[in-house]
């Protein structure tokens, strides 16, 4: 009896060990700002230490009829995402794109007549690349990405409800602007604004 029980017990422990590792692998955060239990996305705490990919400037005509810059969108990502994209021409699983929205003011400076500078935070749009189709039941994950918008007063809790309504209509023009050889789900990104991704 003893001689059978021992190998059986051993086999059981080994299997449990393997399962444990597999489970840990599944739960391991694939991106720094994703809750692996719920799929909830937050604004990564140290995003502002990451490199910027590019800046979009928004102008409008003010009450006096002058064109002014009133908003900037600054896009950040992890250094590893840039390295990966430059080599493989696609976004890696776990790539995080943070778009920081800033109010801006314009003034005449020694460099030009209408020079804008960022002032206060207006909000954040965050995307997380997911090549594995995780969080299938969440309305904030799909088409290869996790999608969320944040007000500046709560960087942990998104105000987005459904990416298909909140995000996709506005990102559809990106599909035609993307490089033709880009991977399908990468085409949702407005990469034309990020010089570091340009092919030489």
Binding site for ligand HEC (CB under 6 A): 56, 73, 75, 97, 99, 125, 127, 147-149, 160, 163, 166-167, 170-171, 189-190, 193
Q: Which of 14, 177 has the CB closer to ligand HEC?
A: 177
Nearer residue to ligand HEC within complex by CB, 155 or 189: 189
Rg (CA), the chain: 22
In Å, how far from its chain's centre is CA 186?
12
Closest contact distance (angstroms) between CB of 10 and ligand HEC is 49
Two structure tokens written together for 105: 């003011």
What is the rounded distance in angstroms from the CA atom of residue 79 to the CA atom of residue 81?
5
- Taking the complex as a whole, the smallest distance from the CB of residue 5 to ligand HEC amounts, in Å, to 56
| Residue (106 or 167) nearer to ligand HEC, CB | 167
d(CA 169, CA 117): 30
How near is the Cβ of 27 to ligand HEC at its closest, in Å? 24
Structure token digits, residue 117: 């500078």
In the complex, the smallest distance separating the C-beta of residue 79 from ligand HEC, rounded to whole angstroms, is 17
User: Which residue, 155 or 167, is less far from ligand HEC as judged by CB?
Assistant: 167
- CA–CA gap between residue 19 and residue 11 (Å, rounded): 12
Least Å distance between CB 147 and ligand HEC?
4
Q: How many alpha carbons fall within 13 Å on the CB side of residue 110?
A: 0
Closer to ligand HEC by Cβ: residue 50 or 163: 163
């Amino acid at each position: 009896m003893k001689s059978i029980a021992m190998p059986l017990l051993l086999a059981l422990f080994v299997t449990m060990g393997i399962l444990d590792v597999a489970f840990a692998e599944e739960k391991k955060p694939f991106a720094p700002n994703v809750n692996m239990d719920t799929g909830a996305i937050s604004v990564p705490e140290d995003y502002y230490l990451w490199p910027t990919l590019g800046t979009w400037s928004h102008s409008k005509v003010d009450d006096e009829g002058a064109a002014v810059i009133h908003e900037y969108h600054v896009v950040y990502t992890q250094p590893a995402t840039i390295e990966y994209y430059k080599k493989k021409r696609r976004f890696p699983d776990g790539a995080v794109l943070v778009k920081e929205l800033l109010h801006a003011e314009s003034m005449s400076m020694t460099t030009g007549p209408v020079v804008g500078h960022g002032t206060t935070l207006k909000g954040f749009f965050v995307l997380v690349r997911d090549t594995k189709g995780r969080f299938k039941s969440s309305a904030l994950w799909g088409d290869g990405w996790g999608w969320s918008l944040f007000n500046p007063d709560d960087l942990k809790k998104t105000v987005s409800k459904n990416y298909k309504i909140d995000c996709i209509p506005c990102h559809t023009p990106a599909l035609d602007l993307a490089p033709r050889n880009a991977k399908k789900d990468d085409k949702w990104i407005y990469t034309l604004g990020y010089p570091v991704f340009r092919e030489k």
